[in-house]
């Protein structure tokens, strides 16, 4: 299937850690779009999980991102699936079939986590404009590799409007208000 289905989806926000973000190319925009995705997911009752890479060393996620997640998985592997992401997703969203993923660094933890989710048989949508790396070239290479591996590369608005599917959706105006207030 080539379209997202909110009824079978979850959102994973990978490593938007406060100590890392100042070094990320366009990091504040990535955080803002990740937060927008999380806020819309909450309105649409879509599970939102976060990950933090070695939080003892890199610190926690951005406070707004962390607050928007139902749970946050501390990990040491670059692929969060190696540290329990799959069972956490299944518990948060029984019947899960697809995962929307955004985060940092695009060419390391985001990439390896998305590949792990695909190996587990899940459909993966990677939100390119809500992902970041220290170098723009690493971000671009990650998106190309993920697309070649079978992930679908999207933008945050593609996700939001496909989740809504119809302007008559009962939560359309709520999600639209979040989009307009975010300004990204």
**Rounded to whole angstroms, how far apart are CA atoms 17 and 42?**
21
Q: Which of the 8 DSSP states describes residue 151?
A: P
In order of their start, the domains of the chain are 6-182 (3.40.50.850)
Q: Which of the 8 DSSP states describes residue 17?
A: B
pLDDT tens per residue, the chain (184 residues)? Answer: 688 999 999 999 999 999 999 999 999 999 999 999 999 999 999 999 999 999 999 999 999 999 999 999 999 999 999 999 999 999 999 999 999 999 999 999 999 999 999 999 999 999 999 999 999 999 999 999 999 999 999 999 999 999 999 999 999 999 999 998 877 7
Q: pTM of this prediction?
A: 0.97
Secondary structure percentages of the chain, helix, strand, coil, to 5? 50, 20, 30
Counting Cβ atoms within 10 Å, is residue 45 exposed (0-12), middle (13-18) or buried (19+)? exposed
**Rounded to whole angstroms, how far apart are CA atoms 81 and 173?**
35
């Amino acid at each position: 299937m080539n379209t997202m289905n909110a009824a079978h989806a979850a959102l994973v926000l990978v490593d938007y850690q406060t100590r890392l973000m100042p070094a990320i190319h366009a990091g504040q925009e990535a955080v803002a779009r990740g937060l927008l995705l999380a806020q819309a997911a909450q309105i649409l009752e879509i599970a939102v999980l976060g990950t933090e890479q070695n939080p003892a060393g890199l610190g926690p996620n951005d406070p707004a991102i962390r607050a928007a997640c139902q749970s946050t998985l501390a990990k040491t592997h670059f692929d969060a699936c190696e540290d329990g992401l799959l069972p956490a997703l299944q518990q948060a969203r029984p019947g899960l079939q697809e995962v929307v993923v955004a985060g940092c660094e695009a060419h390391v933890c985001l990439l390896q986590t998305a590949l792990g989710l695909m190996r587990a048989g899940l459909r993966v949508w990677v939100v390119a404009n809500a992902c970041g790396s220290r170098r723009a070239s690493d971000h671009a290479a990650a998106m190309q590799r993920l697309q070649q591996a079978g992930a679908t590369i999207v933008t945050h608005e593609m996700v939001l409007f496909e989740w809504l599917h119809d302007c008559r959706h009962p939560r359309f105006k709520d999600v639209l208000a979040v989009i307009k207030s975010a300004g990204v």
